[in-house]
Amino acid sequence: MARPPSRARGLRYSGTVKAVRIGLLGVGTVGAAVAKAIATRGDVLARASRATLVVQRAAVRDPAKERGLSLDRVTTDPLEVVRADDVDVVVELLGGEEPAFGLMKEAIERGKPVVTANKRVVSWHGPELHDLAARKGVELRYEAAVGGGIPLLAPLADDLAANRLLELRAIINGTTNYILTQMAGGSSFQDALARAQKLGYAEADPSDDVDAVDAADKLAILVRIAFGVSCTPKEIFREGVRALDPIDLAYGREMGYALKLLAIARRGEGGIEARVHPAFLPADHPLARVDGARNAVHLLGDLCGPVMFSGLGAGGDATASAVLADLTHVARRLALGDPVEPPRPGHTGLPVLPMDEVRARSYLRLSVDDVPGVFAQITHVLAELGIGLASVIQREPVSGQADVVLMTYAAREAALREAQRRLAALPTTRSVRARIRVEESRT
Ligand SMILES: NC(=O)c1ccc[n+]([C@@H]2O[C@H](COP(=O)([O-])OP(=O)(O)OC[C@H]3O[C@@H](n4cnc5c(N)ncnc54)[C@H](OP(=O)(O)O)[C@@H]3O)[C@@H](O)[C@H]2O)c1
């Protein structure tokens, strides 16, 4: 006869677990979709997990809020849920750094597996949480933290494990991808942002999205898993989309490029590049065709070659799909009595390379006086810094002022930044309107 789950042994027993009891922290967009899926597709989940998933307790801020589902034992105190003896697994879907981080630590300390979608906590505190989980012999899973419903972290960690990953380029923020898609159609940044807010893609305070904070958080998680590099968002160079002008998207299109906010990680000399910034991509690259709020991650492995994952990076149901994948994994292990996988060998010791060392082509747009000698001055500055000029286009002057668009060959970031400074200081330059890095196709 199956024994009931043993709390004293952190549920690691080898009989059949009839029910895996979930403590659900947060019943918002994602939490409600998770609870609804558990209520409506128990058979599918039971087949996948060999257990019955039960939302045993839940925590919210406002218990009176209508959520379209009925839950027992709802409290406003998440700690009460974490500490409850009848909760086997904690699913953290509150968002934000605190109290989420403290609650996850408390759950792990108590020997309870944790499933979360919280990119902020995992990107900044993932290593600490993993160390604690390893010491306590419990699982910590967060498939939903990057790319919403796209299966990404598990394939990277398991299915592509035989590869030496060479590069990863990703569109991992749906809000900015929506904004850039609108700007490619001629909208200003402000109009595109207003539309994104109206459609619920952007928050009232859009800073985390448009300043690339969210994408850098997600890239830190990807870099750790894909390259075995110890990395937090603080090591990631970050530039957002606020300063972009639709004219540059139009010029880029004429030259055969699409503009995307790209999260890029690449194996370089002696380390890994990790950066998030707007980048021109050849229009025939698979990522260039990912429009609207969709997400995609394009990888290059030395065995598998190019692989692309794409889909819905946000939304209650899509994100719940990833949370439930983790939950069924945890529940199956509990049901079958499988041991927790010991931690994998730590990071490779490779550093994240300083941004100054990164080499890329650059697109530059200068507003200059329409006078003789302008080109000579520009080429002199670039030649002094050893930057090759691939092409120059001068647009028709208007009122004695002209736009000059330069495309450089690949050069070090430090040299390009200095070029930007010196070009801005030329007597014939009115302003350097844009500098946008360019990504090659490679695959
Ligand atoms: N939404 C997405 O598409 C998406 C996609 C990927 C990842 N994620 C991640 O998933 C997590 C949840 O996001 P969400 O969009 O579902 O957030 P949300 O809609 O704002 O829901 C948050 C939930 O947590 C509850 N809550 C917040 N602070 C609390 C506290 N101190 N005590 C008790 N309850 C508290 C809220 O209660 P009330 O309902 O009473 O206010 C609400 O139920 C976040 O980490 C987010 O980054 C979301």
Asked if the structure places residue 11 within a domain, the reply is: no
Specify whether 231 is located in the same domain as 292: yes
Does residue 11 register a pLDDT over 70? no
What is the domain-level CATH number for residue 368? 3.30.70.260
Specify whether 115 is located in the same domain as 169: no
Specify whether 327 is located in the same domain as 212: no
How sure is the predictor about 397, in pLDDT bands with cuts at 50, 70 and 90?
confident
Specify whether 281 is located in the same domain as 321: no
Protein residue with its CA nearest to atom 4 in ligand 1 = 314
- For ligand 1, mutation pick of 29, 90, 92, 326 (most atoms within 8 Å of CB): 29
* Ligand 1 centroid, distance to 116 Cα (angstroms): 11
* Ligand 1 centroid, distance to 247 Cα (angstroms): 37
Q: Which atom of ligand 1 is nearest to the CA of 26?
A: 24
| Phi and psi angles of residue 371, each rounded to the nearest 5 degrees, phi first | -130, 160
- The first and second tokens of residue 260, run together, are 């995307």
Higher pLDDT, 80 or 441: 80
Q: Burial code of 154-189, b = ≥16 C-beta within 10 A, e = fewer? A: ebbeeebeebebbbbbbbbbbbbbbbbbbbbeebeb
* CA angle in degrees (0–180, nearest 5) for 248-252-253: 120
Protein residue with its CA nearest to atom 5 in ligand 1 = 314
- The first and second tokens of residue 63, run together, are 């218990």
In Å, how far are 38, 134, 217, 306 from 262, measured between CA atoms? 35, 33, 13, 17
Asked if the structure places residue 123 within a domain, the reply is: yes
Asked if the structure places residue 155 within a domain, the reply is: no
Q: Please give the DSSP secondary-structure letter assigned to residue 354.
A: P
Asked if the structure places residue 6 within a domain, the reply is: no
For the chain, what is the domain count? 3
Range of the domain at 181: 160-310
- The first and second tokens of residue 30, run together, are 């994602």
Specify whether 323 is located in the same domain as 376: no
> Contact, 207 vs 213, CB < 8 A?
yes
Catalytic residues: 218
- The first and second tokens of residue 157, run together, are 């960690």
pLDDT tens per residue, range 148-169: 999 999 999 999 999 999 999 9
> Does ligand 1 come within 6 angstroms of the Cβ of 99?
yes
> Contact, 74 vs 99, CB < 8 A?
no
How far is the first Cα of the chain from the last one, in angstroms, to the nearest whole number? 57
Specify whether 186 is located in the same domain as 293: yes
- For ligand 1, mutation pick of 319, 321, 323, 327 (most atoms within 8 Å of CB): 319
State the Cα–Cα distance between residues 434 and 419, nearest whole angstrom: 13
Asked if the structure places residue 4 within a domain, the reply is: no
How sure is the predictor about 134, in pLDDT bands with cuts at 50, 70 and 90?
very high
> Contact, 353 vs 268, CB < 8 A?
yes
Asked if the structure places residue 145 within a domain, the reply is: yes
State the Cα–Cα distance between residues 321 and 323, nearest whole angstrom: 6
Does residue 10 register a pLDDT over 50? no
* Ligand 1 centroid, distance to 117 Cα (angstroms): 9
pLDDT at 33: 97
How sure is the predictor about 443, in pLDDT bands with cuts at 50, 70 and 90?
low
What is the domain-level CATH number for residue 277? 3.30.360.10
How sure is the predictor about 1, in pLDDT bands with cuts at 50, 70 and 90?
very low
State the Cα–Cα distance between residues 122 and 224, nearest whole angstrom: 11
Protein residue with its CA nearest to atom 10 in ligand 1 = 117
Protein residue with its CA nearest to atom 28 in ligand 1 = 94
Specify whether 332 is located in the same domain as 374: no
The residue behind tokens 């550093």 is 351
| Phi and psi angles of residue 249, each rounded to the nearest 5 degrees, phi first | -65, -35
pLDDT at 3: 42
pLDDT tens per residue, range 190-242: 999 999 999 999 999 999 999 999 999 999 999 999 999 989 999 999 999 99
Q: Which residue, 163, 112, 157, is CA-closest to 133?
A: 112
Asked if the structure places residue 47 within a domain, the reply is: yes
Q: Which atom of ligand 1 is nearest to the CA of 316?
A: 3
The residue behind tokens 């606020």 is 242
Does residue 15 register a pLDDT over 70? no
What is the domain-level CATH number for residue 330? 3.40.50.720
Specify whether 139 is located in the same domain as 165: no
State the Cα–Cα distance between residues 64 and 423, nearest whole angstrom: 60
